[in-house]
A and B are shown apart, each in its own frame.
Chain A
């Protein structure tokens, strides 16, 4: 297999939580994390529960703020592509990276009142400037691949089951072709059939060149998708 250069580089990453209400308790979760991910790779984060896998993933996305270290990602169009530092970046940088380069599938779908499912899914593509019909079409395609029945497309997902919401979430994260994908238990609430559908979609994306970092509790999913493993041990000692 051709070895491509990484598009995501993490070095010396440290993350603690300071709980002021608990008398200034410091919880060190990540210490000196270092990893690289190249296109076509799927790095699975493994380790005991509470070790910091989710913390690491969220830190990559900018959802959590690391205390130290560097997270760099290849970002930009064509000639303008360059390394962008995300730790302590200005908000507009991170927002731009999230819009064009990095997608995140969290475990929970944040439900926005009144917006129809198809529009929830289409939104990231609209943000990139696609037309409404184009975005809706692609959203509908993904929704059907993920087994969400058509009669639900025009309804807001607030009343959907956990599994349905999860699939809507996945569709939303996959609608734009992100070079980097961060997946936090993408198949958590899914039954086997739906799980397999999601595996196919993600694998397809990986093979098309996405660089993926994911947490997969389900061994079968991990084995289907991961090309490498990365162990996160508390308090975040690198494997």
Chain B
């Protein structure tokens, strides 16, 4: 590919007089996982929502290289096309799995929804695909007809991931995907994500406040403070040789285990 998959050009977002996001620009190439780290209030979630088309920036634009329709300006798309994009080529993993799932229907229905939304009409095939994906996220196949209300937090998160990946997206946005989970559950989930990113050649933008998660999952890192990107580069380089004062402080603050 000769063009970046996702480009941000001067993204600025204000809430009243407060600047949540200040002129953020970057290019994401296929196969890259970009981490956005920062503490609460850094603007990282606002940035993610602007990138994913959920929030319109006040200035700047987000462009995306589609599979078959060239480059599109994400916020200039019609709502219909943007919604279609988010259901096919993109994925979004919410921190709280409940926001990304239908809690009232079975896991199979949750995973099958994207397929049905784009016209799948064979129950048996849909069920089989859902079952395959349940296996890939390491949930017991006999939980296929159970509702996510009966799932643990870690299982719900894995279900949310399966629901997103069933449409073979090229780009996945993740907002603190392991937030709020027990440490061992986190580890398992991170592992799974790592494997899936590798196996399906996913590109991703991952927001996290946890540098350990960033180290494990991301190739590149952007450090945000007060709405601005204060440092960016390869993940290992930003974490091992931080240049900016804030980054140095963040890295030094990691508790040793």
Contacts and interface: CB of A to CB of B under 8 A. Distances in A.
Are A and B direct contacts in the complex by CB distance below 8 Å?
yes
B191 interface: yes
B234 interface: yes
Contacts of A63: 234, 236-237, 240-241
Contacts of B243: 18, 65
B194 interface: yes
A92 B216 CA distance: 17
Contact of A95 (B27, B32, B241, B248): B32
A112 B27 CA distance: 28
Contacts of A110: 215
Interface string B26-47: 0101001000000000000000
Nearest to A91: B220
B187 A21 contact: no
Contacts of B187: 113-114
B240 A20 contact: no
A91 B245 contact: no
A3 interface: no
Interface residues of A, number: 23
B29 A64 contact: no
Nearest to B184: A113
A60 to B, nearest CB: 12
Interface residues of B, number: 25
Contacts of B132: none
Contacts of B240: 58, 63-64
Main secondary structure of the interface of B (DSSP, over half): helix
Contacts of B236: 63
Contact of B241 (A64, A113, A126): A64
A20 B194 CA distance: 33
A58 B245 CA distance: 21
- Looking at A20, A62, A64, A90, the one whose CB has the most chain B CB atoms below 10 A away is A20
Contacts of B237: 62-65
A115 B193 CA distance: 12
A19 interface: yes
B188 interface: yes
- Looking at B198, B237, B248, the one whose CB has the most chain A CB atoms below 10 A away is B237
A63 B27 CA distance: 20
B216 A112 contact: yes
B219 A95 contact: yes
A94 interface: yes
B219 A21 contact: no
Contact of B234 (A91, A112, A123, A127): A91
B234 A113 contact: no
Interface in B222-243: 233-234, 236-237, 240-241, 243
5 contacts: A18-B243, A20-B248, A63-B236, A65-B243, A114-B188
User: What are the nearest 9 A-B pairs in CB distance?
Assistant: A20-B245, A113-B187, A64-B241, A92-B29, A91-B220, A114-B191, A91-B234, A63-B236, A65-B241
Interface of A: 17-21, 58, 62-65, 90-92, 94-95, 110, 112-115, 123, 126-127
Interface of B: 27, 29, 32, 187-188, 190-191, 194, 198, 215-216, 219-220, 233-234, 236-237, 240-241, 243-245, 248-249, 252
